[in-house]
A and B are shown apart, each in its own frame.
Chain A
Amino acid sequence: MNALRKIAVPLSAMVVFLLLWEVLVWANGWPNFVMASPSDLPPAYTRYWELFLSGSWQTLWRTMVGLALAVVFGIVLGMIMGFSRLAREALYPLLVGFNAVPKATVVPIIALLFIGQHDLNTILMAFMISFFPIAVSISIGLSTLEPEYRDILRSLGASNTTIFWKIALPKTLPEFFGALKVSVTLAFIGTNLMEIVSPHGRGLGALFDSGRTNADYPLMFAVLIALAVLGIALFYVVVALEKIFAGWAERAPG
């Protein structure tokens, strides 16, 4: 019953959403070039299914690699900022400034910097846009560790490394996964920015762009839906990981 509900409720919400979308387009009598309706999408998928499969794979693996880099870099940076006040004071303004720059403006810079390296550029973009939340969450988690937690181990002569593995890291995991959920979607944005903007791009972003240049509007909307599906899938992978590694932080309701 509960399992059924867990699937049925979000699924029916999606159906309702698609219905409303269909009705909106139909009621306004919009042609395809204003807004395609859900019923236009299946033909687009059947016609280009090979492109969708290869494009999704391209987008997915680049996003994952970028995200993995962001996780590693974010954790290291977060540790440095979490343990050293000097590093925190020095790096915070720099990081905030970096994050405030709209990433769309960075796309041409990167594209020129590594001309033709489309894979590298895309991964770099996904990485740059998604490491910030991770670094901030880890640094805050570590710097707000109550001193008593440290003292119970330190008074026994434990090293800083032991304190990190036994207490600081596990205690920061809930914050880390919260940030990772944000980062997953951000990484997708980064990948697609590069795929759409850079010439001769690949992946779903490039498919979107070809829909635009060929005035194939249903294809553009079909790509958006495909991206949403990928995003949802990756998001729930993170949720599953969170359940495994930081499930203790979840309290029973009531």
Chain B
Amino acid sequence: MSLPISLEHVTHAYSTAAGPLPVLKDLSIDMPEGSFTAVVGPSGCGKSTLTRLIAGLMKPDQGIVRLGGAPVTGPRSTVGMAFQNPVLLEWRTILQNVMLPLEIVSTSMSKTQQQDRARELLALVGLEGFEDKKPSELSGGMRQRASLCRSIVHRPEVLILDEPFGALDAFTREDLWQTMHELRAKEQFTCVLITHDLRESVFLSDRTVVFSARPAFAQRVVEIDMGGRRTLDDLYAPRAVELLAVLRREIQVAQGRDVDPPAASPVPVPGVANRPVEHVAATAQDPSTEAPR
């Protein structure tokens, strides 16, 4: 099962010594059931705040976050999370690490069924034979694979990925992208992926939301109309190149950099929801909203 996620006019600020620091401003996003949404944006624009709001680890100052129509009031067992740091427990074997959520979430599964479930996932991501190894015996990419297994072992309705591939080398990252497609084909969840990698967002997501600089709003939503299962070759298809160019331009706008005149950008892409154009113009011209770096 998977649930739709929706954010309605979410505004949030952190209190700091220098006064409130607004991070999200009137943010509205809809993520349909079973969809894969990537969120890209300048550094420190509040992307991770978004994940914590959806996971119920924080409450927004204003606005509502809904999972399957019901407002999020706190953490819930139907959420899975994975981070840039795989945070595996060093004293447990890989199998025991993957089974950790099953110890928290009450399931009707017997111990054997839990083990079978964990083994099945580990095999799916190519970690067969490593079940009884300790995390310190595995490479960074393998640890991240185990971390992904742990995030979905309890069949969450919502999967939140906060830059899980960010610290990996380029080849390992591409391997894991393909693993992600395989997981998606097997398992059912609505996925939110935070990333800094535009190619990653084009390769994995159904739609990519570009965040503005802090305080962030959805500057633009780009539909990635490239079909379901993708191969790395698809990333070099004309359509992917077009989408990448669109995203790159949006990021530059979000960063407040000088943007090439629209004529230099690729032909307008059909199917791209070009929501708040007026925001784009305002951000580009107003030097006071320049992104912090």
Contacts and interface: CB of A to CB of B under 8 A. Distances in A.
Contact of A157 (B80, B89, B104, B150): B104
Contacts of B57: 151, 154-155
A152 B90 contact: no
A248 B88 CA distance: 13
A162 B83 CA distance: 21
Contacts, number: 63
Contacts of A170: 89, 91
Interface stretch (B8-16, B71-79, B190-198, B232-240): B71-79
Contacts of B100: 152-153, 166
Contacts of A149: 87
A210 B76 CA distance: 68
A50 interface: no
Main secondary structure of the interface of B (DSSP, over half): loop
A167 B89 contact: yes
A155 B90 contact: no
A151 B90 contact: no
A148 interface: yes
Nearest to A153: B104
B75 A156 contact: yes
A44 to B, nearest CB: 47
A167 B57 CA distance: 18
A20 interface: no
A151 B86 CA distance: 12
Interface string B32-74: 0000000000000000000010011100000000000000001
B91 A162 contact: no
A89 interface: no
Contacts of A246: 91
Given A157-B76, A166-B103, A251 B81 contact: no
Given A154-B57, A157-B77, A248 B83 contact: no
A248 B104 contact: no
Contacts of A151: 52, 55, 57, 81, 83
A157 B81 CA distance: 12
A157 B90 contact: no
A162 B81 contact: no
A148 B90 contact: no
Contacts of A148: 83, 85, 87
A236 to B, nearest CB: 22
A249 interface: yes
B89 to A, nearest CB: 7
Contact of B56 (A153, A155, A162, A171): A155
A155 B75 contact: yes
B154 interface: yes
Interface in A217-254: 246, 248-249, 251
Interface in B130-173: 134, 136, 150, 154, 160
A248 B92 CA distance: 8
Given A166-B103, A248-B134, A251-B136, A155 B81 contact: yes
Interface of B: 52, 55-57, 74-77, 79-81, 83, 85, 87, 89-91, 100-101, 103-105, 134, 136, 150, 154, 160
Given A171-B91, A173-B91, A248-B134, 13 more contacts: A146-B85, A152-B83, A152-B100, A154-B75, A155-B81, A156-B76, A156-B154, A157-B75, A157-B104, A162-B104, A171-B89, A248-B91, A251-B136
The 5 closest A-B pairs by CB, nearest first: A248-B91, A155-B55, A148-B87, A156-B104, A157-B75
